[in-house]
A and B are shown apart, each in its own frame.
Chain A
Amino acid sequence: MATLANYLIVSGLLFSVGLAGVLLRRNILIIFMGLELMLNAANLSLVAFSRFNLGQDGFPDYNAQVFVFFVITVAAAEVAVGLAIIVALYRARQTTHVEDLDTLKF
């Protein structure tokens, strides 16, 4: 049987991979994918906690799952808006490469 620690480590690794994607890749679309990975890593922790921390009735704590539900909804909205922004950006600058987007540099 897998322990809670296993799930948390997997969740953490997933988060780290997502973070690495955000920090290392230059394509803004891939960075966005990395962000999605990080969100899902958090979801995994939440569901794991829900399963390992039963309520008094002997069932998982569904409040955590509702939380995950909300995260997924917000993430979907975020993806929609984020991708629209990327499209608008691409129209304006013809690039998705973050190193080319440095107008705010001093």
Chain B
Amino acid sequence: MSLALFWIFAAITLASAVGVVFFRSPVSAAMSLVMAFVGLAALFVTLDAFFIGVVQVLVYAGAVMVLFLFIIMLLDLRADERRPVKLAAWAGGGAVVGGFMAVLVQVVGSLPALQQTKPALANPAVNDVAMVGFALFRNFNLPFQVIGVLLLVATIGVVVLSRRELK
């Protein structure tokens, strides 16, 4: 059951991701990306990371994707016109991606420890929001506040960048 779900969600995620790369229209690509994020959230849930799954849906599938679509609308982007495919670029990109996959498969295949299945939790009813909260505010309080400053800086940066008389 669990394995089947894993494969279903994995397949959805990967297929949507491939869609992102291959759809010609930006809007289709963005919708495909939403699907990929939702699939990923489901994968997080199969890993008992409910909080991260929810955040994934809220932040990515919600906020980030709205932003993407908004920009697509704002720039009035249409589907790319067909340009001659550059063989060298495709070959180079394919080589890098293939090389990465080769390294990854070799690493994963060579480590028997990775073949373990999920160990049983001490208590199947995980209260992981509380746990993440504890970890966040106890162990990572300072980084948490720093990240708040980062968001503020990003906000200010965006405002500055968006001003029309930017020279």
Chain A positions near chain B (C-beta within 8 angstroms): 1-10, 12-21, 23-27, 29-30, 32-34, 36-37, 40, 43-44, 47-48, 50-52, 54, 57-60, 62-63, 65-66, 68-70, 72-81, 83-88, 90-91, 96-97
Contact = CB atoms under 8 A, between A and B. Distances in A.
B139 A27 contact: no
B166 to A, nearest CB: 6
A8 to B, nearest CB: 5
Contacts of B10: 6, 10
B101 A16 contact: yes
Contacts of B139: 63, 66
B115 A3 contact: yes
Interface of B: 2-3, 6-7, 10, 13-14, 17-18, 20-21, 26, 29-30, 33, 36-37, 40, 43-44, 46-49, 51-52, 55-56, 59-60, 63-64, 67-68, 71-72, 74-75, 77, 80, 83, 89-90, 92-94, 96-97, 100-101, 104-105, 108-109, 111, 113-119, 121-123, 126, 128, 131-132, 134-136, 139-140, 143, 147, 150-151, 154-155, 157-158, 161-162, 164, 166
B118 A51 contact: yes
B95 to A, nearest CB: 10
Contacts of B67: 79-80, 83
